[in-house]
Amino acid sequence: MAEKMRVLRLHHVGDMRMHAESIPGSIPGQAVIKVSAVGICGSDLHWFGSAGIGDATLSRPLVLGHEFSGIVEDPHSDHNEQRVAVDPAIACRECEYCLDGKPNFCTRLHFAGHGEDDGALQEYLAWPERNLHVLPDLISDEEGALLEPLGVALHAVDLGNIHPGDTVGVYGVGPIGLMIVQLARFAGAGEILVTDRLEHRLQAAYSFGASRGFLVTENWDQQEIWYATQGKGVQVGIEAAGENQAVETAVMAAKPGGKVVLVGIPENDQTAFTASTARRKGLTIKLSRRMQFAYPRAIQLVKDGVIDLQSIITERYSFSEYDLAFHAASERRGLKTIIKLN
């Protein structure tokens, strides 16, 4: 009889169930990984709270989790016994976008914890060798799990093309927004203005280099950001909240000729902004799709101490405490929630 492992599956909205399933065997081109740590992402919360995300809906009990690290336990793997961060996106390497160096647009992309592809909330899984990135001793398993959202933040900042001295707006400073703040500071941003609905996130943004924060309330006046720039506006605005109000703020606060990068995933799969404002300003609006070859850069930035991931992790739960972990993340307690499997 095959040895069993614990596997957590989402059956319906808010309905997570632990299963006992067979540990995967070694497959050519893949490595068996013993999962160490999994981060709960905003997209996981979409699945948990709505049984879907964007135009994807739950069609079968799904294993969530795409931010993860682990230890290779596969004697057939070149990475055997090594700690690794795992890229959850499996590109085909054959379509026009892969061949053009843009695997995030792959037409046959598979992604952990999405659609038909199970993710990392299981004690073991088999994953392509080419998607494994060895972790140096200086980077913990928990930090290794956060390299995926750091890659998303890197790609967003790349799209924004921040120049030294630029005024940058970051609208929504959850974990990815906080990483964007750090990257913007490293890129030489002069001022970094941030918004969020939670005071503790604004305080975290200050610790990472934000110049000024604005607490978004029901009666908050978006013009405050425009006034804070003395009417000059923001050169690069990055929306990381997944809320339409943040998109509107980014457009309103942008200077004429400025750039707005949309990173957040809206709950209702709709994004809107005042067209006349964006048109008169001649804004460049970019939508960010995951990342492109970001893991080596992300690892180096953390290894060099440029980016602090450890301070973003504030909530830790064991695998058996998965229900507490998802409710803590849903309630936006602290900053980043991690489930430690081993």
User: Can you tell me whether residue 283 is helix, strand or coil?
Assistant: coil
Residues 130 and 202 grouped into a single domain: no
Residues 8 and 141 grouped into a single domain: yes
The rounded distance, in Å, linking the Cα atoms of 168 and 299 is 24
Cβ proximity of 121 and 151 under 8 Å: no
**Containing structural domain, residue 159:** 153-287
Cβ proximity of 4 and 23 under 8 Å: yes
Pair type for strands 110-111 and 15-22: unpaired
CA-based end-to-end distance of the chain: 23
**In the structure encoding, which two tokens stand for residue 263, read together?**
């990173």
The rounded distance, in Å, linking the Cα atoms of 19 and 315 is 24
* Total Cβ atoms within 10 A of residue 59: 10
Contacts of residue 18, Cβ cutoff 8 Å, sequence gap at least 6: 6, 7, 8, 320, 322
Q: Residue 248 falls within a domain, yes or no?
A: yes
Q: Residue 279 falls within a domain, yes or no?
A: yes
Degrees (nearest 5) of the Cα angle 231, 233, 238? Answer: 155
The one-digit pLDDT tens for each residue of the chain (342 residues) are: 569 999 999 999 999 999 999 999 989 999 999 999 999 999 999 999 999 998 899 999 999 999 999 999 999 999 999 999 999 999 999 999 999 999 999 999 999 999 999 999 999 999 999 999 999 999 999 999 999 999 999 999 999 999 999 999 999 999 999 999 999 999 999 999 999 999 999 999 999 999 999 999 988 888 899 999 999 999 999 999 999 999 999 999 999 999 999 999 998 899 999 999 999 999 999 999 999 999 999 999 999 999 999 999 999 999 999 999 999 999 999 999 999 998
Q: Residue 57 falls within a domain, yes or no?
A: yes
Residues 249 and 269 grouped into a single domain: yes
Residues 194 and 251 grouped into a single domain: yes
**In the structure encoding, which two tokens stand for residue 92, read together?**
């085909």
DSSP per-residue string spanning 99-122: HTT-GGG-TT-EETTBTTB--S-B
Q: Residue 177 falls within a domain, yes or no?
A: yes
* pLDDT for 249: 96
Type of residue at 22: S
* Total Cβ atoms within 10 A of residue 51: 18
CA 31 to chain centre: 24
Residues 124 and 206 grouped into a single domain: no
Q: Residue 163 falls within a domain, yes or no?
A: yes
DSSP per-residue string spanning 56-86: EE--S-B----EEEEEE--TTSTTTT-EEEE
* pLDDT for 219: 87
For residue 8, what is the domain's CATH number?
A: 3.90.180.10
For residue 209, what is the domain's CATH number?
A: 3.40.50.720
Contacts of residue 242, Cβ cutoff 8 Å, sequence gap at least 6: 42, 172, 264, 265, 266, 267
- The model's pTM: 0.97
Residues 142 and 48 grouped into a single domain: yes
Residues 108 and 203 grouped into a single domain: no
